[in-house]
Amino acid sequence: MKIKNYLEDIVREQVNRILVDKKNICTCEQCRLDMMTRALNHLPPKYVVSQRGHVHTRLDELTTQFQADIVREVIKAIRIISKRPRHK
Ligand SMILES: [Zn+2]
């Protein structure tokens, strides 16, 4: 059994979903992880106990307000990281 931040999977999905439409910014692994980290650091964590590291995560189990907060932080993180990637 492990403790896991439920938001990690949700934020990863949202970053990937939004980046599909962004052709003009870097979407490498490092930038994606930086975007995820920034968004997660700006959202309250939601810890759950998981069996074998697997958690069934669904955005629609969260309140509408929390979903909106997640999407807003992900969009902000993408904007900020894409302006200043940590690599050349
Ligand atoms: Zn990059």
Q: Tens digit of pLDDT for each residue in 30-65?
A: 999 999 999 999 999 988 887 765 566 666 678 889
Cα–Cα distance, 44 to 81 (Å, whole number) = 20
Distance of CA 67 from the midpoint of ligand 1 (Å)? 26
CA dist 52 → 2, 3, 43, 44, 56 (Å): 7, 10, 25, 24, 12
pLDDT value of position 57: 61
62 located within any domain? yes
Q: How many domains does the chain have?
A: 1
How close is the Cα of 53 to the center of ligand 1, in Å? 28
Residue 26 lies in a domain: yes
Q: What residue numbers bound the domain in which 17 lies?
A: 2-83
- 37 vs 4: which has the higher pLDDT: 37
Measured in Å, residue 2 CA sits from the centre of ligand 1 at 31
Is residue 18 within 8 Å of 75, Cβ to Cβ?
yes
Question: 65: CA distance to ligand 1 center in Å?
Answer: 30
* Widest CA span in the chain: 41
pLDDT band at 88 (very low <50, low <70, confident <90, very high): confident
In a domain, 88, yes or no: no
Q: Please give the share of the chain, as a percent, with pLDDT higher than 70.
A: 90
Ramachandran angles phi, psi of 81, nearest 5°: -65, -35
pTM: 0.85
